[in-house]
Chains A and B, each alone.
Chain A
Amino acid sequence: MPEIVAINGAKPGTDWLFAEDDEVVAPDRPAVFSLSRWLEAGGRGDAGLLRGVRLDPADDPALLTGRLDGVAMVALHFPDLNEGRPYSQARFLRAELGFGGEIRARGAVLADQLLFMARCGFDVFELAPGVDRQVALSALSAFDIAYQPALAAGNGDTLYNRLRAGRGA
């Protein structure tokens, strides 16, 4: 069982099944499907079932436009720690699609990337094996300010102040 860190009040389930594309899933089992399987199935879950979608770095999150009904979580995958695309995917899900569910980081999730992930909209982190939970939590609080304007920055103020608006997420 990977160590899981959640922020911003996210309440991650721990019994998600990350289903293979040919894996039979019981209807009442909380399950996370690949983007292609989710789209093939029509892109919407049945009411009352816990469903998630996982994206690989090359997947286009815009394909989820209008297909996030019933999606409780989107899992974004880091094949290695230098992978940068999931940061843009998370930002797109939050800022462009208004997704309010859980965005979970999986794969090469090391302590020192967490703050960047959090500022792009991730709120749940499955720590890579060997990453110490305390180190991860303290890495998350290494900064309390940022130069980039917050996603929900207000209008009317100068950019100079908006660039100093806070955490950015």
Chain B
Amino acid sequence: MYRYDEFDHRLLSQRIGQFRDQVARRLSGQLDEDAFRPLRLRNGVYLQLNAYMLRVNIPYGLLSSRQLRRLADIAERYDRGYGHFSTRQNIQFNWPRLVDIPDMLAELAEVEMHAMQSSGNCIRNITADHLAGIAADEVADPRPYCEIIRQWSTLHPEFSFLPRKFKIAVSGAARDRAAVHVHDIGIRIRRNEAGEIGFHILVGGGLGRTPVIGKTLREFLPEADLLSYLEAVLRVYNRYGRRDNKYKARIKILVNDLGIGAFAALVEEEWQRLRHSALRLGPADIERMKAHFPRPDYLPPVNDTSEYEALRRDDPAFDRWAENAVFSHRQPGYGIVMVSLKRSGRPTGDMRADEMRALARLAEEYGFGEIRVTHRQNLVLPDVPLHRLPSLWRELTALDLAMPNHGLLSDIIACPGMDYCALATARSIPVAQAIAERFDDLDYLHDIGDLSLNISGCINSCAHHNVANIGILGVDKRGQEVYQITLGGSSGDDAAIGKRIGPALPAEDVPAAIEGIVEAFLAEREGDERFIDTYRRVGDQPFKERVYA
């Protein structure tokens, strides 16, 4: 993984010194909240309903066991013993005291982690495919490019006060697992006929109250031009993006207002001025960054897999887990293990400090000390030898981390909702839990198959409900929390925005409505069809009939 050099450490340490001084000025009253707000946001500090919240970046979803242990220490020392993994490869601590945050940041810096630009109207954490470097369908590892973008965007003097937040995601695989279609800029790494690396650049995707699928800005951007091109896009956005209305300030609105052709022409004009500037990447730049992400020292496959095979035959629980939670690795003899943070009775994405330490140990014993964070709020053990899966499964089971619900209905994404968030207009965690309780029969979940269900507690759509197969949006209607249901959304290569099926429902009716939708699906399904395919074939009428019968 990327290792900080002296320069990275020095910059981060100066940043923490700067924020420590700003916090002191805030606490002494020299800075009022209006002046302090943009400063704290750019250091990851939100003011929630009950307390401050600190959002820490996990760049491109990559964590070392040492870093995960440090997160556990911080959760215990400064918070209530747990952390919450978000949908953009961040971890959030919900109960820190403002006066402690500079110390928390200093402890994070020791393990090369930071919260710079994890909020505020600036370029946010750069996210990537959580299977980067290990996926069988990879064109090129996105992480070196992500780190190049991370450094360029960190404390960029010109782009630190953008019209609105700006999110960039990078995918290097044939299949998109980074939701590049719903980012301000989505980047897909491609190889042309000559075998050269380049980037397919999407722009103007996003969720929130105006969900939009990103549009192609450039089919194939040469590798050397990555930063100059991003700089050109950001400059056009900084200059022309709307600043009079925060709900119309994202780049998607600018792209829609101008049209993609006119927007692309502005970018092109700017880029031609910049293309041969100091931002041009040379082969040595890329090689140097790639060297930070070497392939681990994989061992030759172990031929004796008798225990694994016997257990799959004899233990249905292991068989189901191996089928659902283990993915094929590009290295023969290894598997990729999904670790579900969607446990019954627990808020989605939450993890206690003792669980973090236990998983850090497993990452070392069963891999190379690495953990990945997915944008569906789960974790990954990336490099597990196949013959060791049985014993890993036993350990994960003992920790309640072997729930085989990856990609199934109970693998719910939920935002913190009104229980924590000052913006929320409705609760999401209790609704997610009520649905998960209703669908706790694993056989039934596996029969239903691939289905994404996301719950947002307000129109800001942090849980990406509008690109879920089943989306639930909590809104406030004359003082009552009610829930709108959308169907047909998708965040992958076939990205689509879900469509509302009818009037909002009170919280207590939501689980029954979901049950009705699933029953309608099973009645209409042909063969092994996925929910989304059935929906696309039959439309929303059969679902409406069940929900509003």
Bound pair (A, B): yes
By a beta-carbon cutoff of 8 Å, the part of chain A in contact with chain B is 57, 81-85, 87-88, 91, 96, 110, 112-113, 115-117, 119-120, 132, 135, 138-139, 142-150, 153, 155, 158-160, 162-164, 168-169
B285 an interface residue at 8 Å Cβ cutoff? yes
Asked if B278 contacts A159 (CB within 8 A), the reply is yes
Residues of chain B contacted by A116 (CB below 8 angstroms): 155, 157-158, 160-161
From A81, A83, A146, A160, contact of B157 by CB (8 A): A146
In the assembled complex, the CB of A121 is this many whole angstroms from the nearest CB of chain B, namely 9
Indicate whether A87 sits within 8 Å of B238 (C-beta atoms), given known contacts A135-B25, A159-B285: yes
Asked if B121 contacts A82 (CB within 8 A), the reply is yes
Residues of chain A contacted by B152 (CB below 8 angstroms): 147-148, 163
Residues of chain A contacted by B156 (CB below 8 angstroms): 147-148
From A82, A88, A159, contact of B280 by CB (8 A): A159
Indicate whether A148 sits within 8 Å of B157 (C-beta atoms), given known contacts A160-B288, A162-B278: yes
Asked if B155 contacts A146 (CB within 8 A), the reply is yes
Closest partner residue, chain A, to B274 (CB atom): A95
Residues of chain B contacted by A149 (CB below 8 angstroms): 277-279
Q: List 23 A-B contacts (CB under 8 A).
A: A82-B161, A84-B162, A85-B238, A87-B161, A88-B235, A110-B35, A112-B18, A112-B22, A116-B157, A116-B158, A120-B158, A132-B30, A135-B25, A142-B14, A143-B155, A145-B7, A147-B154, A147-B156, A149-B279, A150-B278, A158-B284, A163-B152, A168-B157
Q: Nearest 9 pairs between A and B by C-beta?
A: A84-B161, A153-B278, A119-B157, A149-B278, A142-B18, A116-B157, A159-B285, A147-B151, A87-B158
- Other A-B contacts than A84-B238, A142-B14, 9 sampled, CB-CB below 8 A, are A82-B161, A112-B22, A112-B35, A120-B157, A145-B11, A148-B157, A149-B278, A158-B285, A160-B284
Residues of chain B contacted by A57 (CB below 8 angstroms): 243
Q: How long is the Cα–Cα vector from A146 to B284 in the complex, in angstroms? A: 20
The contact string, 1 if C-beta is below 8 Å from chain A, for chain B 268-289, is 0000010001111110110011
In the assembled complex, the CB of B474 is this many whole angstroms from the nearest CB of chain A, namely 29
Closest partner residue, chain B, to A159 (CB atom): B285
Q: How long is the Cα–Cα vector from A149 to B274 in the complex, in angstroms? A: 12
Q: How long is the Cα–Cα vector from A56 to B305 in the complex, in angstroms? A: 71
B488 an interface residue at 8 Å Cβ cutoff? no
Asked if B161 contacts A83 (CB within 8 A), the reply is yes
In the assembled complex, the CB of A64 is this many whole angstroms from the nearest CB of chain B, namely 15
Closest partner residue, chain B, to A86 (CB atom): B161
Residues of chain B contacted by A91 (CB below 8 angstroms): 158
B163 an interface residue at 8 Å Cβ cutoff? yes
The contact string, 1 if C-beta is below 8 Å from chain A, for chain B 146-176, is 0010011011111111110000000000000
Residues of chain A contacted by B38 (CB below 8 angstroms): 81-82
B17 an interface residue at 8 Å Cβ cutoff? yes
Q: How long is the Cα–Cα vector from A85 to B121 in the complex, in angstroms? A: 13
Q: How long is the Cα–Cα vector from A21 to B322 in the complex, in angstroms? A: 75
Residues of chain B contacted by A135 (CB below 8 angstroms): 25, 30
From A113, A163, A169, contact of B151 by CB (8 A): A163
In the assembled complex, the CB of A32 is this many whole angstroms from the nearest CB of chain B, namely 23
Asked if A143 contacts B151 (CB within 8 A), the reply is no
B532 an interface residue at 8 Å Cβ cutoff? no
Closest partner residue, chain B, to A83 (CB atom): B161
From B148, B159, B227, contact of A84 by CB (8 A): B159
